[in-house]
Chains A and B, each alone.
Chain A
Amino acid sequence: MKLVTAVIKPHQLDAVKEALHAMGVSGMTVSEVQGYGRQKGHTEVYRGAEYTVEFLPKIRIDVLIDELDVDKVVEAVVSASRTGKIGDGKVWVTSVDEVVRVRTGERGLDAL
């Protein structure tokens, strides 16, 4: 099993969600996060005083999937969240040892 994690621009969330839904991914966890990469932050000016906002709002999506689906899931997330401009985010994949569905106690692929 794999955990696919994507940090994307907030307004791309709907597109990514639709793409995952269309390919049969049955659930996901979404959180509001802040951060920056090569994009760095930006500056804001209030009453003439310039402040650097280093951490920009981003959306983090976590999806647990069967490792056989990894390539197409990653491809779906990347293509759905790409705008071509700096700050589009990152997608990474980690291995997962065990998954348990809390309600039934099912384990492994049955719990996805």
Chain B
Amino acid sequence: MLLAEDVAPAVDTGHTAWLLVSSALVLLMTPGLAFFYGGLNRSKSVLNMMMMSFSSIGLISILWLLYGWAGAFGKDRPLNDSTAGFIGDFTDGAGNSYLGTHSFPGLFGYPNAFPVANATIPTYVILIFQMMFAIITVALISGGIADRAKFIGWLIFAAAWFTLAYIPIAHMVWGGGYLGATVGELDFAGGSAVHINAGAAALALAIVLGRRLGWPQASFKPHNVPFVALGAGLLWFGWFGFNAGSEQTVDGTTAVAFVNTQVATAAALLGWIIVEWIKGGKPTLVGASSGAVAGLVAITPACAFIEPWSAALLGVVAGALCCLAVGLKYLFRVDDSLDVFGIHFVGGWIGCLWIGFFATGRAGWVFQPNEGGFGKEGLFYGGGGDQLVAQLQGAAIVSVWSFAVALAVGYLLRFVGLFKVEDEHQDELDHHLHKESAYESFTPTTSSAAGAHAGV
């Protein structure tokens, strides 16, 4: 008689197709972020701002292939190892070392991949899906350091922070490490591993690099508001892959995550512009775009665990609070240029804590560890305060870890002169760092034709 486990698993075409599409959707978020940030920035340095996102795609993709995936999602180390819970074992799960130079001998079912749904999706598909998360997390940080970071410093920082913060935190939250497996934190698609993580790092770098020249007295108004809306739209579109894709398979939870992503984002858009209105201003397109992003951030950790009405409430709360939180930087005199702290850090915290109050099995997720589920229901659903405490622990540990790594790496780079652009070059940053410019000026350009091939 043939036992079930003797049969090699076959690809589940539905699950695999959805995860492939989701991977492409999440990739699109990073160019979307480039437009979002680029539009919010001033025209003289828009290319450098967008370049930080695009370079993250180039750099992090390769690092993820080489060692990121194996470190974040490799099997957790044995308990007697001092790094147990913090980093994967850099193997392919079958005891073979995996550093991006090997192919997986068995295609299916990476042992620690989250969630351990089934073994019918090729490991490569999960690898590429998770790669896109690492890319955008690093890119998000760049919003805190507009107009004043040397490009070489950014690249070195990105590689170092990815290695010392993103990989261990992703492992702790999703890879079977300390926060997910021991503390019991719930973070479905990255409220802590992506957004709190990036927000804390951006705040640290804004402190390391100091303020832009003239901030906050000079004018830093967004140079292209349609770009901001275009970027927010691309982020919104891609975020369905980010959130609903994080179920990795196609089932009821995928559907709940998808619906919650939409309603929370819509409500946050309204929440932000309502606060703008109440404060005596006008509802703005920058506000609507920012509110949408705040809602997307907040629903990210919670999208599989809460009911849709609760997602809408979360959205309006996050949109309103983030609209107020972006003013904090003026109070503390920290030039977090494009509000990575005010939107991603604050929004991520709101979403993570929301789970502690509103998580419920009514949304479809199976809770209760002793019944084969994971996590506990929230305070308002009779689950007690345990999950809220776990959420607090998770968010706090990620905040401190990421902030500390970014601060240390940032100051080191600044100390050796590789990070901060000299004051005299801040006014012509695109030209100084990249020798190109975003927009034609009115100056005739025909005279340069003779030299056009000089550099080739």
Closest to A43 in B: B281
Of the A-B pairs whose beta carbons lie under 8 Å apart in the complex, a sample of 12, sorted by A's number, is A44-B221, A45-B282, A46-B221, A46-B222, A47-B287, A48-B323, A48-B327, A49-B216, A49-B221, A51-B219, A51-B221, A52-B219
Whether, in the assembled complex, B326 has its beta carbon less than 8 Å from a beta carbon of chain A, the answer is yes
Interface residues of B in 196-237 (CB under 8 A from A): 216, 219-222
Determine the chain B residues whose CB is within 8 A of the CB of A51 once the complex forms.
Answer: 219-221
Q: How large is the interface on A (under 10, 10 to 19, 20 to 34, 35 or more residues)?
A: under 10
Taken residue by residue from 324 to 347, chain B's Cβ proximity to chain A (1 for < 8 Å, 0 otherwise) reads as 001100100000000100000000
B281 touches A45 (CB 8 A): yes
Query: How far is A44 from B285 in the complex, measured between Cα atoms in Å?
Result: 12
Determine the chain A residues whose CB is within 8 A of the CB of B326 once the complex forms.
Answer: 47-48
Query: How far is A107 from B269 in the complex, measured between Cα atoms in Å?
Result: 63
Partner of B284, one of A46, A52, A53: A46
Taking the nearest CB of chain B, how far is it from the CB of A42, in angstroms? Answer: 12
Query: How far is A44 from B287 in the complex, measured between Cα atoms in Å?
Result: 12
Determine the chain B residues whose CB is within 8 A of the CB of A49 once the complex forms.
Answer: 216, 220-221, 330
| B interface residues, Cβ below 8 angstroms from A | 216, 219-222, 276, 279, 281-282, 284, 286-287, 290, 323, 326-327, 330, 339
Q: For the complex, would chain A's binding face be called helix, strand, loop or mixed by DSSP majority?
A: strand
Taking the nearest CB of chain A, how far is it from the CB of B293, in angstroms? Answer: 11
| A interface residues, Cβ below 8 angstroms from B | 44-49, 51-53
Taking the nearest CB of chain A, how far is it from the CB of B244, in angstroms? Answer: 29
Closest to A54 in B: B219
Taking the nearest CB of chain B, how far is it from the CB of A90, in angstroms? Answer: 23
Determine the chain A residues whose CB is within 8 A of the CB of B284 once the complex forms.
Answer: 45-46
Query: How far is A53 from B221 in the complex, measured between Cα atoms in Å?
Result: 10
Query: How far is A47 from B328 in the complex, measured between Cα atoms in Å?
Result: 11
Given contacts A47-B326, A48-B326, 10 further A-B contacts (CB under 8 A): A44-B221, A45-B282, A45-B284, A46-B222, A46-B284, A47-B286, A47-B290, A48-B279, A51-B220, A53-B221
Closest 3 interchain pairs by CB? A51-B221, A48-B327, A45-B281
Taking the nearest CB of chain B, how far is it from the CB of A43, in angstroms? Answer: 10
Determine the chain A residues whose CB is within 8 A of the CB of B330 once the complex forms.
Answer: 49
Query: How far is A49 from B337 in the complex, measured between Cα atoms in Å?
Result: 12
Query: How far is A49 from B276 in the complex, measured between Cα atoms in Å?
Result: 11
From B219, B327, B330, residue with most partner A Cβ within 10 Å: B219
Determine the chain A residues whose CB is within 8 A of the CB of B339 once the complex forms.
Answer: 47
Taking the nearest CB of chain A, how far is it from the CB of B86, in angstroms? Answer: 36
Taking the nearest CB of chain A, how far is it from the CB of B268, in angstroms? Answer: 14
Query: How far is A46 from B225 in the complex, measured between Cα atoms in Å?
Result: 10
Determine the chain B residues whose CB is within 8 A of the CB of A45 once the complex forms.
Answer: 276, 281-282, 284
From A44, A45, A47, residue with most partner B Cβ within 10 Å: A47
Query: How far is A3 from B220 in the complex, measured between Cα atoms in Å?
Result: 39
From B221, B279, B281, B287, residue with most partner A Cβ within 10 Å: B221
